[in-house]
Chains A and B, each alone.
Chain A
Amino acid sequence: MKHLDQGQRPVGGRGGTMRVVVIGAGVIGLSTALCIHDRYQPVLQSLDVRVYADRFTPLTNTDVAAGLWQPYLSNPSNPQETHWNQQTFDYLLSHLHSPNAADMGLALISGYNLFHEAVPDPSWKDIVLGFRKLTPRELDMFPDYSYGWFNTSLILEGKRYLQWLTERLTERGVKFSQRKVESLEEVARGGADVIINCTGVRAGELQPDPMLQPGRGQIIKVDAPWMKHFIVTHDPERGIYRSPYIIPGIREVTLGGIFQLGNWSEVNNIQDHKSIWEGCCRLEPTLKAEIVSECTGFRPVRPQVRLERERLRFGPSNTELIHNYGHGGYGLTIHWGCALEAAKLFGEVLEERKLLRMPPSHL
């Protein structure tokens, strides 16, 4: 039961309601909205959360992602990201045991990471399940590669997960508004107390960020239901995601291997198509499969995730801004840890404004 001290009535921005606007409806926007709502709705007099976006599923970059939980091989420059990755894995693993797992687009999947030479173990080897090196007989299956790992990880299919998040948010009365936000000022002046900036690769349109670039990807989805393992190859000379990968989803298998920094072309490219198809068929000779679809997406590439507060001043009002963008090719992998962190920053805002009598963790 919350108690109110004299002179500390919970006050939102205007008339007791805390108004939150989340810009962006990809995995980052929707999961942050859900995390904040579930944590703070019980302890606020009134919480109004809205999601503004010009693109919703199935038109977001999250929808294009294959959905394999796997961080980059090298350690992130911000060590907090390792923690956020772990939090996400643990959170997803805990949902695996529920009947809802398939509704979320979530499933366990095992598979192979392949290299041309021995490499050190990744920092996430103890996060995934059953991590081990490949045996010689297993490597025989991949004549172009001489070293590799086997482990059990998770698939979180972007499209299904976004649908699930949308359903959960709708149940909680979160409103969605399809609109192109032209400026943060417009949202602040519209009455938002806190803005959560989850605009991903196009964050630069709202506030210039020279560190943010598109990492264009193209993928082919095929119908190959006999494939039960992911196969991700690595070529250090070419760089991450530039080497073929095959990732089975719930129903379709994603083939990829394209990463082009600075390329904003939304059109599927025929050279890229050839490169993906030839690379993957060479890797997996059984792939005489039917092509279901092909699409392009843009990884929001940044040296590290931008997850921090900023205070905006437009005229007399103060609007709090929380940035949560720049997750590169590991958005699904890191999303929940970042949502928790964004929620923590939101909690700081509430404490500063004396809107919380008790910190949420005590309840």
Chain B
Amino acid sequence: MDTVRIAVVGAGLMGLSTAVCIPTLVPRCSVTVIADKFTPDTTSDVAAGILIPHAYPDTPVHKQKQWFRETFDHLFSIANSAEAGDAGVYLVSGWQIFRSMPTEEVPFWADVVLGFRKMTEAELKKFPQHVFGQAFTTLKCEGPVYLPWLEKRVKRSGGLMVPQRIEDLWELHPSFDIVVNCSGLGSRQLAGDSTIFPVRGQVLKVQAPWLKHFIRDGSGLTYIYPGTSNVTLGGTRQKGDWNLSPDAEISRDIFSRCCALEPSLHRACDIREKVGLRPSRPGIRLQKELLAQDSRRLPVVHHYGHGSGGFSMHWGTALEAARLVNECAQALGSPAPKSKL
């Protein structure tokens, strides 16, 4: 059988992790990643990368739990190895706090993270406006370090990176046998998907190296995530907003909300603003589609729409996407009138 030529559209977290998974499952394939943006200019580079899952209304909970667990376990073993620094993956402990009792005191992912428990009264004293909290240890996966590390892995297994903007998936035919669509918000155009929309997130990256814990308000709107080279302060959730320029008023508001949770942030310096557009969808799209036009056929595997939960789910969904790619590859190999082309 000939080498299966696979194009991955998109070089963010989904594109790169799928490009890493594919050669492990698909025998005799070549992988080419094609995108208009590469790290450090992707949406994934803006995200703090903390592993706290976001709930998808249209995806079954058992699936979310499976993907989160696969991602967590995979990153956990990297975090405990000599590769941790190169991959930008490490453990961080902290608190998720609530101003009113949450409907779910123990979320579905409680036994995936480490040491999950309710906060004690003494711990809650630090947050006088909050009545309930959860303490646990999770992982942080830093886009600007993790993505280059993934790129290296793709290249090591023979993959190619091609900087090029794709306007239509048919551009990839007939050079490629299978297309993996990891274009995030680009799928509005490339896949004609009107259910995906941006949820604008503005964050501040500041210097505050004394902070060792994450703090997240249960609403998801205010958070403090300490990283290797800076601390991410957030944030916003602005539905349908495509504006990539930072807004000064919003920055002041984010800073103020975070200082209320952690007063020592008043001493933070070197404050930088960043904006990312979360590729939001009621559910993650992990699906095969056979594009047809006249006599042309192009198998596509869609892998996009992770919204706020990209880092938390990426490895689990990338493995599933790679399985779907393998199914397509098997279908190509089976006796079908391919020779008519």
Interface positions of A (Cβ within 8 A of B): 96-103, 106-110, 129-130, 132, 134-135, 137-138, 141, 150, 152, 155, 224-229, 248, 250-251, 285-286, 288-289
Q: Which residues of B, 226-254, contact A by the 8 Å Cβ criterion? A: 226, 228-229
The answer to whether A285 touches B81, judged by C-beta atoms less than 8 angstroms apart, is: yes
Please, which residues of chain A bring their CB within 8 A of the CB of B212? Answer: 107-110, 155, 228-229, 248
Which of B89-97, B183-191, B326-334 lines the interface with chain A?
Answer: B89-97
Complex A-B: 30 CB contacts under 8 Å: A96-B126, A96-B264, A97-B263, A98-B263, A99-B266, A99-B267, A102-B210, A102-B267, A109-B213, A110-B93, A110-B212, A130-B122, A138-B114, A150-B115, A150-B137, A152-B213, A224-B85, A225-B209, A225-B228, A225-B229, A226-B84, A228-B91, A228-B212, A228-B226, A229-B93, A251-B209, A285-B82, A286-B79, A286-B80, A286-B81
| Known contacts A107-B210, A138-B115, A228-B212; A288 and B82 CB within 8 A of each other | yes
Our pick among B82, B93, B210 for the contact of A101 (Cβ within 8 Å) is B210
Q: Scoring B residues 200 to 230 as 1 if CB is less than 8 Å from chain A, else 0, what string do you get?
A: 0000000011111100000000000010110
B36 at the interface (CB under 8 A from A): no
| Closest-CB distance, A187 to chain B (whole angstroms) | 38
Cβ-Cβ contact count across A and B, 8 Å cutoff: 98
Give CA–CA (A14, B314) in the complex, Å. 76
CA A225 – CA B267 in complex, angstroms?
Answer: 18
B90 touches A228 (CB 8 A): yes
Q: Do the beta carbons of A99 and B264 come within 8 Å of each other?
A: yes
Whether A101 contacts B263 by the Cβ 8 Å rule is yes
Shortest distance between the CB of B74 and any CB in chain A (Å): 14
Q: Is B324 an interface residue (CB 8 A)?
A: no
B263 and A152 contact, CB distance less than 8 A = no
**A286 pairs with B90, CB closer than 8 A:** yes
Q: Are A132 and B123 interface neighbours, CB within 8 A?
A: no
Is A129 within 8 A of B122, CB to CB? yes
Please give the distance in Å from B293's CB to the nearest CB on chain A. Answer: 49
In the complex, whether B135 has a CB less than 8 A from a CB of chain A is: yes
**Residues on the B chain within 8 Å of A228, using CB:** 90-93, 212-213, 226
CA distance A162 to B81 in the complex (A): 37
B82 touches A107 (CB 8 A): no
| Cβ–Cβ < 8 Å partners of A288 in chain B | 82, 85
> Is B155 in the interface zone, CB < 8 Å from A?
no
User: Chain B contacts of A225 at CB under 8 A?
Assistant: 209, 228-229
- Extra A-B contacts (13), CB below 8 Å, given A107-B212, A155-B212, A228-B226: A96-B264, A99-B263, A99-B266, A101-B263, A129-B122, A130-B117, A130-B119, A135-B115, A150-B137, A226-B90, A248-B212, A286-B81, A286-B84
Cβ–Cβ contact A226 & B122, under 8 A: no
Q: Is B120 an interface residue (CB 8 A)?
A: yes
Q: Whose C-beta in chain B lies nearest to the C-beta of A126?
A: B122
**1/0 per position for B67-88, CB-CB distance to A under 8 A?**
0000000000001111011001
In chain A, what residue has the closest Cβ to B263? Answer: A99
Query: In whole angstroms, what is the CA distance A286 to B228 when docked?
Result: 13
How distant is the Cα of A303 from the Cα of B265 in the complex, in angstroms? Answer: 41
Q: Is the CB of A102 within 8 A of B85?
A: no
Name the B residues within 8 Å of A248 (CB-CB): 212
A135 and B135 contacting across the interface, CB-CB below 8 Å = no
| Chain A residues near B208 (CB-CB < 8 A) | 102
Known A-B contacts A109-B212, A286-B79; the reply to A130 vs B226 at CB < 8 A is no
Residues from chain A with Cβ under 8 Å of B210 in the complex: 101-102, 106-107, 155, 250
Chain B stretch 258-303: residues in CB contact (< 8 A) with chain A = 263-267
Question: Could you say which residues of chain B place their CB within 8 Å of the CB of A226?
Answer: 84-85, 88, 90, 228
In the assembled complex, how far is the CB of residue B282 from the closest CB belonging to chain A, in whole angstroms? Answer: 32
